[in-house]
Amino acid sequence: MQIRSGFVDLVGNTPLVRLKKVSQETGCEILGKCEFLNPGGSVKDRAAWAIIEDAEKKGLLEPGGVIVEGTAGNTGIGLALVGNTRGYRTVIVMPETQSQEKKDMLRLAGADLRLVPAVPYKNPDNYVKYAGRLAEEMARSEPNGAIWANQFDNVANREGHYRTTGPEIWEQTGGKIDGFTCAVGTGGTLAGVGMFLKERRAGVRIALADPMGAALYNFYKNGELKAEGSSITEGIGQGRITANLEGAPVDDAFQIPDEEALPLLFDLAIEEGLVLGGSSAINIAGAVRLARELGPGHTIVTILCDYGSRYQSKLFNPAFLAEKGLPAPRWLA
């Protein structure tokens, strides 16, 4: 069987790629899981499909029903595309600060896009809470009903990673894996993969790579949810313990400034042909930190979440970077 049956059949089973320069520099095998190769372009296709499949199995979604979600964009793209193949409409609530490229992609995927001001979670107008309220209203008003995907607190998200991403990494490394690290948006990836790998081998070190402006680094270091600084990365940087993160086996945490992560990303584009998004930069920097901690000879896996073209107007725009006081790609500057 060489033929995939459609969008959801294309989700997952992504390859692992050796990141040459950082592997050479650390003496470790640093491997990236190519989640940008998912059909909707990001790791979040997995969560989108896992959440929809779970809702279908529980009888919560009717044909013609509406899926409502608050998202930095990628989950919305995944939900819209899975929804298109299975006969659901999507209403996507997104902070207006997210990249134009993701907004454009959502519109072309047919999502009903609602942009809201970027306000903290404790504010009732925060995009996540806005989406929850909208889903409640639409569940009453829509003829075929509506559900809230609720990626942050719906553990179907991490279960998807536990069932697919974790086992794939285990198989692809032949169980020769010493560490796994990634950043957290919902925590679905870190928790789902971490839980699976720990079950296989308790000694696999699971590490959080936290961008500035997120509160989890301090939480895992000293039990206090406290944020400092800021980051231009999108889709990551959490301020609370989501349901997906509860009980996640996190051994270690790194706090990664954009200034440390972005040069790795720019080098990867021009030297190894991998043009990736900002969360991948944080993840790769986390893998380098973990490699330095473990020492040479270890195998570390991280996630290459999405493609750089999704952030061309920001991450690869020297004017935007200069405004933020961040280094620019040398071949663009």
Interface contacts to ligand PMP, rule CB under 6 A: 42-44, 72, 74-75, 183-189, 235-236, 277, 279, 305-306
- The minimum distance between CB 206 and ligand PMP, in angstroms, equals 13
- The minimum distance between CB 161 and ligand PMP, in angstroms, equals 7
Catalytic residue among 20, 21, 44, 221: 44
- The minimum distance between CB 214 and ligand PMP, in angstroms, equals 11
Please identify, using beta-carbon distances, which residue of 65 and 233 lies nearer to ligand PMP: 233
Please identify, using beta-carbon distances, which residue of 75 and 299 lies nearer to ligand PMP: 75
Phi, psi of 8 (to 5 degrees): -70, -25
Q: Pairing mode, if any, of strands 112-116 and 146-148?
A: unpaired
**H or E segment to which residue 66 belongs:** strand 66-70
Per the structure block, which two tokens stand in for 176?
A: 């020769």
- The minimum distance between CB 277 and ligand PMP, in angstroms, equals 5
Closest CA to 35 of 253, 201, 228, 185: 185
CB 186 within 8 A of CB 216: no
Please identify, using beta-carbon distances, which residue of 26 and 38 lies nearer to ligand PMP: 38
Please identify, using beta-carbon distances, which residue of 30 and 190 lies nearer to ligand PMP: 190
Give the separation between CA 91 and CA 210, rounded to whole angstroms: 29
Per the structure block, which two tokens stand in for 303?
A: 């996630």
Question: Would you tell me the crossing angle of helices 165-172 and 188-200 to the nearest 10 degrees?
Answer: 50
Q: Is 44 a catalytic residue?
A: yes
Phi, psi of 115 (to 5 degrees): -90, 135
Q: Which residues are annotated as catalytic?
A: 44
